[in-house]
Amino acid sequence: MNSPVAPTDPDGSTFDRDFASAIARPVDPIGPTGKPDAVFGVRLLGASENHTAADCVKPSGSGNPGWLMTLVDLLLARGALRPGSPHSCVTLRMDLNVNAAAFATATHIRGLTRHSFADDNLTMGTCELRGDDGVLLATGMGMFVSIDAALPMPFIPTEPHTDSTSLTELLEFVPDMTRTTVTWPIREWTANPSGVVHGGVQAAALFAAIENLAVVDTGAPVAFGNCSVEYLRPLPADDTELTVGVTATRRGRQFATYDAQLYAADGRVGTKATATLRLPVT
């Protein structure tokens, strides 16, 4: 599958116009649509015929795109469905290209989905993420399957936005001695309304584990360039813990590639991810 392509909108003027058009048509509710959204500070803001707008917040200084993935999942899923659709969808895959330096310093991220195409029940969507200054932070795309189920609306948030400064802290990771395997305790807030672990939170766990191992390998911070996550089977939220395994598959002088798998309690792989990282200059 091709990687997301950066839009031809260098100053963000088209983004600003379409974002304003989408939020001029507010949705119900305005705000988080589930507990994972609330914890990651994600708000669904509005949707026009061609666009869906949402935003989120993240700690300054963290360049891990895991902070973005709950927002990206919401945007792309909504983009796969037209406004007012009575249906829901299941995420098959998400891809993200990251402007690492700009993303690391951003704290408020605005996201916009451009509704894409559908083939029977298979739908595709693209999204663009920018900071308040208009700088492009990331582009993404996703693949979804529409299902005959109602969207869980409305939602009244009961979970506070996290004050955690690291994904490892937020997710309460328990790494092994080499950090190639991580135990992830599943909390009630990680579930979506269907009773499985939210796809955006799964992606956050995979990318956090990748970063942990990469930092151990290099002894210095790394920067995410491209990352992808593929969902193979649902992971029940009633499992008390899941396991993340990480492997370095390629290591060059400037770039490295890491793979990660998320295992259910029965040992089967539910989700897998790949990330290309820029290594520190030595």
Q: What's the pLDDT tens digit per position in 161-199?
A: 777 889 999 999 987 766 689 999 999 999 987 889 999
CATH fold, domain 10-149, is Thiol Ester Dehydrase; Chain A (3.10.129)
Kindly give, in sequence order, each residue whose CB lies less than 8 Å from that of residue 17, ignoring residues fewer than 6 positions away: none
CATH fold, domain 166-282, is Thiol Ester Dehydrase; Chain A (3.10.129)
pLDDT at 1: 45
How many CB atoms sit inside 10 A of residue 205's CB?
28
Identical fold for domains 10-149 and 166-282, yes or no, is: yes
List Cβ<8 Å contacts ≥24 apart for 162-166. 162/39, 162/40, 162/41, 164/59, 165/59, 165/61, 165/62, 166/59, 166/62, 166/208
Q: What is the spatial distance between Cα 100 and Cα 153, in angstroms, rounded to a whole number?
A: 34
3-state SS assignment for residue 19: helix
Domain positions in the chain = 10-149, 166-282
Average of per-residue pLDDT across 76-84? 73
- Is 90 exceeded by the pLDDT of residue 87? no
260: exposed, middle or buried (Cβ count in 10 Å: 0-12, 13-18, 19+): buried
- Is 80 exceeded by the pLDDT of residue 154? no
